Amino acid sequence: MCRDAWPAQIPLLLLVLVITGCGGDSTSAPPDVAAPPADAVKTSSGLATRVLKQGTGSRHPGPHDSVTVHYTGWTTDGQMFDSSVARNEPATFNVDGVIPGWTEALQLMVEGEKRRIWIPEKLAYAGAPGAPQGMLVFDVELIRIGR
């Protein structure tokens, strides 16, 4: 698979393992990967989130802030497709430089917080060829907010 075939709006950061064919089962899928549980909070856009670990910060990142995160992403059938945790290397990027579901979810978080997010396809890759399809599930830990 070649990067040039992907639409420009697909952030390379979240798809490195898909592109290279790397990944695997080093991070197991959570038991609620198929659908958001009853205790998940759903936004008007359809994004669902659940706090896994309370944060220590008080400031939420804005759309133009830079953030450093650890994350793992799965499809709803439990297949991990990307993980900074598996690479043991946190990722840093601008909040508005990723898929819409990430942009929305990150702005709900504070430093030190970890959330599981269920991103509907329309807020993920919207059916783009070569990208993970359908609803995606991520565990995201917000390590640091920059400017």
The per-residue pLDDT for range 37-71, each reduced to its tens digit, is 999 999 999 999 999 999 999 999 999 999 999 99
The per-residue pLDDT for range 3-32, each reduced to its tens digit, is 344 444 444 334 333 333 344 444 799 999
Amino acid code (one letter) for 113: E
Q: What is the DSSP string of 75-131?
A: ETTS-EEEEHHHHT--EEEEGGGS-HHHHHHHTT--TT-EEEEEE-GGGTTTT-TTS
**Structural domains in the chain plus CATH codes:** 3-29+41-145 (3.10.50.40)
- What is the pTM (predicted TM-score) of this model? 0.81
Are 117 and 140 in contact by the 8 Å Cβ rule? The answer is: yes
